[in-house]
Amino acid sequence: MKKKPVYFTLCIILTFLTAFTVFSAASDNTSPAKSSSRTQFSDVAEGSWYYGVVSDMTAAGLLKGYPDGTFRPDSKISAAEFVTVAARCAGLEPVSGASGHWAAGQLAAALNSGWYDWDEIPPTGEKHELPITRQLAVKVLMKALLPGEKGDYAQQAPKIRDLSELDGRYYEAVFAAYAAGISEGDDKGCFNPKSGLSRAEACALIIRASKKADLSPVGSDEPSIPQDPSSPVTPDKPIQGGVSENGWLKVEGTSLLNEKDEPVVLRGMSSHGIQWYPQYTSEKAVKNTAEYGANLFRVAMYTAECGYLSSPDSVYNQTVKAVDSVLTNDMYVIIDWHILSDGNPQSHAAEAEKFFDRISKRYSNEPAVLYEICNEPNGNVTWDRDIKPYAERIINTIRSNSPDSVVLVGSGTWSQDIHQAAANPLKVRNIMYSCHFYAGTHGQWLRDRIDIVLKSGIPVFITEWGTSAADGSGGVFVQESEQWIKFMNDRGLSWANWSLCDKNETSAALNPGTSPSSCWTEADLSPSGKLVFSHFKD
């Protein structure tokens, strides 16, 4: 998506429409003439902490208030309002939105650019007019205007007295904002991450971020991660084939190798939750997938959502049945401990340890089996505190039964924070790091992140990706999906697509009502399925 450069002196205009405040960018290239050096608002008193900010903006002719002469500095700014100003300051052009909300286009563009995740401000509109939290506002602003800024945990964390209240997914942005002088704590040293952001605070943050950009154009096509991702790690042309051809797999550097030390790539499908769609893990359904060229099948065993934690024995047996269907078809299989709503893997570490001990004993001598031990950590989790200690515990359990199996480890923010894992990797062999993306939500910034991680020597496995938006709807995003597929092929990355089922959502590979026991034709495949199945043999 192309972005128009906007300069700081033109991008901070407050325009008030109806009862709400909307930030707007000037459309010409001329700075407004200065008016008065003092604020004209009756409720912005001299001596207030925001007096200078508002006065400077007023003096530059960049600020307008309500008809009654007030600014209302303590009123909370909504998510829609804040994202809109960030988008306009960055020159981000609106796209088609999913709702009729006035800011839907700007919000959709920001979401597509990776400034926030769909669950933080859903495109369906239910959170558009709610106050934006400080932690989310900082994340949006840093991604919009200062994507290259970094902040060291050791240096910045001590400055935040209420660090325990900051969700882990916001660490990177907040530490960067503190390091850059964009964010500051209150008089008690607290960031108050989950409280609303006032209009005055929003102005201060935006001005600081814009000044930090040194008046240079923002919103260019530069990647959101500043390191040069050129010359990506590109292994020798990998081979495909099934288990009988490749045998036991191992990890060397960033490559997945077969037992002959040849680079190998796995491509295939992930099931949906087997508690809902077990029929599409049958031997025939898996065979249908294999006949299109897939050599990988991922068994998504949800832990919550009526999954394993609700019925351990029955769901375990269903998992075994699905795995055995894959083995019969000479394919590799990922056994996926599919956490979602239970976002911290430590929450059920004991149950995970019991499960992986049991299942790794069953398949201890089976070269086809790979273990994905935490699908998508999310929420208030960090790699160092939560995910890495969990991974060390579960890997030790698996290794005691199956010492040579490849283990796949997720990271924070739905397995997108692979850079955090790369900064403090596990010290064990045959490990790869899971990364998940959805073509309608995640773009170049995540590809750049993967390249940087690969260049640092960390192996990546795309254990889940979709042709839709992150919620399974929207699309099919054909161009974006093809771009991602080329990216994965160029780097020899293995992948599993979400998902082999007939659910009425864009990401489903099968049309509604497709029989799991019949031979599938093109007519049985959804638009997503046709695109994905055509790339198994790339």
Residues belonging to the active site: 376, 464
What are the residues facing 76 on neighbouring strands? Answer: 198
Alpha-carbon gap, residue 432 to 252, rounded angstroms: 10
Identify the three-state secondary structure at position 36: coil
Answer yes or no: are the C-beta atoms of 337 and 301 closer than 8 Å.
yes
Residue with tokens 């850079």, as numbered in its chain = 419
Answer yes or no: are the C-beta atoms of 408 and 371 closer than 8 Å.
yes
Q: What are the residues whose beta carbons fall under 8 Å from the beta carbon of 270, sequence distance 6 or more?
A: 297, 298, 300, 334, 336, 463, 464, 496, 497, 498, 499, 500
Alpha-carbon gap, residue 426 to 510, rounded angstroms: 38
Pairing mode, strands 495-500 and 13-17: unpaired
Answer yes or no: are the C-beta atoms of 326 and 372 closer than 8 Å.
no
Alpha-carbon gap, residue 421 to 458, rounded angstroms: 9
Alpha-carbon gap, residue 285 to 268, rounded angstroms: 13
- The identity of residue 421, as a single letter, is A
Alpha-carbon gap, residue 439 to 229, rounded angstroms: 20
> Encoding tokens for residue 501?
């089922």
Helices 134-145 and 199-212, packing angle to 10 deg = 30
Alpha-carbon gap, residue 444 to 113, rounded angstroms: 8
Alpha-carbon gap, residue 79 to 302, rounded angstroms: 32
* Short-list 385, 389, 443, 451, CA closest to 418: 451
Pairing mode, strands 431-438 and 407-409: parallel
C-alpha distance across the termini of the chain, in Å: 27
Three-point CA angle 164, 165, 170, nearest 5°: 95
Q: How far is CA 446 from CA 4, 112, 375, in A?
A: 22, 12, 18
DSSP secondary structure string for all residues of 288-340: HHHHTT--EEEEEEESSTTSTTT-HHHHHHHHHHHHHHHHHTT-EEEEEEE-S
Dihedral sign, Cα of residue 450, residue 455, residue 456, residue 462: positive
In a 13 Å sphere around the CA of 350, the CA atoms on its Cβ side amount to 0
- The identity of residue 410, as a single letter, is G
Identify the DSSP state of 31.
P
Residue with tokens 């596990």, as numbered in its chain = 426
Other beta carbons within 10 Å of 313? 8
